[in-house]
């Protein structure tokens, strides 16, 4: 395998930092770009002394001029707490960020992978979700800055493919979890684990019957890298996630059991536009990428619980920010 110089936007985030690490392990040079809106330097401290790793503080809504062989575009806050904090910036990151990275890829004539999301399906009327489903998204809802921003980014990627013959790769990421999740991102896995480790009540929204599928970070990163390695005629979109489906209440009960917490489960009103079902159809990923997730939920939760247990012990203030 030829060694490459690879740009990872959002490279100090939860998934971006693991992707940088995996690419370095394979001998590539990595240029990590992040504005640290949600990313954390703690995720990449251990990489800074690697001569093949370069960190650039930069906002992808502004043009970037570097020389690389591939681009993974992961830059964007991905949890409701973070992307709703500044919805205008979220849309700009999705749209202007895509335009700038696509322009860079066009100039360099290199492949570019976009980390899209299962949120493009909205509150789906098709279950499980297949790539051909167009979605059911509220364009003016509280989540639309992210949902529609990502949908527009997909449109831009396909436009560059059609008009400029650019080698694009689109993956739609379903719920992913694991060590290095931000403790205050509002996602269900990190919320439940931190509440349980602190013996606090675990909050579920609605009656907890809404479902999600949870993919462990190692499986997700492998799928992204396999997608980048596909021939130019394979563009996607391709769903990557774990087709195992669990109710939110089942997840809460599992976390309580695994942490030994004394937490109670309490209910709060369901947020606006919260999808009732989420489960990927990964038929295309199996066929095209020869990939499917290997990590059972209980195993992945064990690693994630231990990460947060250590984080609470070593830096409790970070968990309260």
**Parallel, antiparallel, or unpaired for β 246-247 and 211-212?**
antiparallel
Count the helices and strands in the chain (H runs, E runs). Answer: 10, 13
Q: Are 215 and 174 within 8 A, CB to CB?
A: yes
Q: Are 273 and 123 within 8 A, CB to CB?
A: yes
Those residues whose C-beta lies under 8 Å from the C-beta of residue 79, and which sit 6 or more positions away, are: 38, 182, 185, 186, 187
Whether 72 sits among the annotated catalytic residues: the reply is no
Q: Are 121 and 135 within 8 A, CB to CB?
A: yes
Catalytic residue among 72, 83, 121, 146: 146
Task: Establish whether the linkage from the previous residue to 69 is cis, with ω within 30° of 0.
Answer: no
Strand, coil or helix: 301: helix
Q: Which residues pair with 268 in a beta bridge?
A: 205
Cα-based torsion angle of the residue sequence 290, 276, 261, 219 in order, rounded to the nearest 10 degrees? 10
Where in the sequence numbering do the catalytic residues fall? 146
């Amino acid at each position: 395998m030829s060694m490459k110089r690879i740009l990872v936007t959002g490279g100090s985030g939860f998934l971006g930092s693991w992707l940088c690490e995996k690419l370095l392990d394979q001998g590539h040079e990595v240029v990590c770009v992040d504005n640290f809106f949600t990313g954390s330097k703690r995720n990449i401290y251990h990489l800074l002394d690697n001569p093949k790793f370069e960190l650039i503080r930069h906002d992808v809504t502004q043009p970037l001029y570097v020389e690389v062989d591939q681009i993974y575009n992961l830059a964007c806050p991905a949890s409701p707490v973070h992307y709703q904090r500044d919805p205008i910036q979220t849309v700009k990151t999705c749209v202007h960020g895509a335009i700038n990275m696509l322009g860079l890829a066009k100039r360099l004539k290199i492949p570019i992978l976009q980390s899209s999301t299962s949120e493009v399906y909205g509150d789906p009327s098709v279950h499980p979700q297949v790539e051909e489903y167009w979605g059911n998204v509220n364009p003016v809802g509280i989540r639309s800055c992210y949902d529609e921003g990502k949908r527009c980014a997909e449109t831009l990627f396909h436009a560059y493919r059609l008009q400029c013959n650019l080698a694009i790769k689109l993956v739609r990421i379903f719920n992913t979890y694991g060590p290095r999740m931000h403790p205050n991102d509002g996602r269900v896995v990190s919320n439940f684990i931190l509440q349980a480790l602190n013996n606090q009540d675990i909050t579920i929204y609605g009656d907890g019957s809404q479902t999600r599928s949870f993919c462990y970070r190692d499986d997700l990163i492998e799928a992204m890298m396999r997608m980048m390695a596909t021939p130019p005629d394979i563009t996607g979109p391709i769903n990557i996630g774990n087709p195992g489906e669990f109710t939110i209440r089942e997840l809460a009960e599992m976390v309580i059991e695994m942490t030994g917490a004394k937490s109670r489960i309490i209910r709060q009103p369901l947020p606006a536009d919260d999808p009732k079902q989420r489960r990927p159809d990964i038929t295309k990923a199996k066929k095209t990428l020869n990939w499917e997730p290997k990590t059972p939920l209980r195993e992945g939760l064990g690693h994630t619980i231990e990460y947060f247990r250590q984080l609470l012990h070593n830096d409790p203030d970070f968990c309260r920010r």
